[in-house]
């Protein structure tokens, strides 16, 4: 799994698509969405939007649901050598603490979900202003 993180509108998606070299992919935006059997690349985006919709639920339950999704995607990816999963995360940690409870909930839960994604990923890349920086590579796991 490859986790790509960066600020909003900082070129993450453009960078990912350049890495895919015109390869087709299935985009997911909510945990549990069906994965097409003929697809080799999954691109998960918009986690922050799904988390915002979970406002009112217990934050631990939401994080657990994300962990289960990461584990499901990892299992799918490991099922065939040509498969890959890329998660694009929008960093919300470098700004002002929101006044609204639902925005604070989203920021906090998103941070916990991003931590788990980075932990489980074989590769982590930060994209800031269109420039990619490798934070974790598969070789570091050995």
In 3D space, the residue among 2, 15, 31 whose CA is nearest the CA of residue 136 turns out to be: 2
How many domains would you assign to the chain? 1
Instruction: Report yes or no: 61 and 108 within 8 Å, Cβ to Cβ.
Output: no
Q: Say which DSSP state 87 is in.
A: E
What pLDDT shows up at residue 142? 40
pLDDT for residue 135 is more than 80:
yes
CB atoms within 10 A of CB 114: 22
Mean per-residue pLDDT, 121-136: 96
Q: What is the pLDDT of residues 69-126, one digit of tens each?
A: 999 999 999 999 999 999 999 998 777 777 889 989 999 999 999 999 999 999 999 9
The domain in which residue 77 lies consists of: 2-141
CATH number at residue 90: 3.40.50.300
What pLDDT shows up at residue 63? 98
> Order of strands across the sheet with 41-44?
26-28, 41-44, 84-90, 2-6, 123-128, 131-136
Q: What is the pLDDT of residues 14-67, one digit of tens each?
A: 999 999 988 889 999 999 999 987 889 999 999 999 999 999 999 999 999 999
What pLDDT shows up at residue 22? 80
Angstrom distance (rounded) from CA 64 to CA 60: 6
């Amino acid at each position: 799994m490859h986790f790509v993180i960066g600020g909003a509108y900082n070129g993450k998606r453009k960078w990912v698509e350049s890495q895919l070299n015109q390869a087709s992919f299935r985009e997911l935006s909510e945990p549990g969405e069906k994965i097409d059997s003929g697809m080799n690349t999954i691109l998960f985006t918009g986690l922050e939007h799904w988390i915002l919709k979970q406002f009112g639920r217990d934050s631990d339950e939401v994080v657990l649901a994300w962990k289960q999704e990461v584990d499901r995607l990892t299992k799918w990816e490991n099922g065939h050598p040509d498969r890959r999963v890329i998660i694009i995360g929008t960093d919300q940690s470098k700004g002002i603490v929101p006044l609204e409870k639902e925005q604070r909930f989203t920021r906090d839960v998103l941070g916990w979900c991003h931590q788990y994604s980075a932990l489980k990923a074989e590769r982590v890349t930060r994209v800031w202003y269109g420039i990619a920086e490798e934070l974790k590579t598969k070789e570091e796991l050995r």
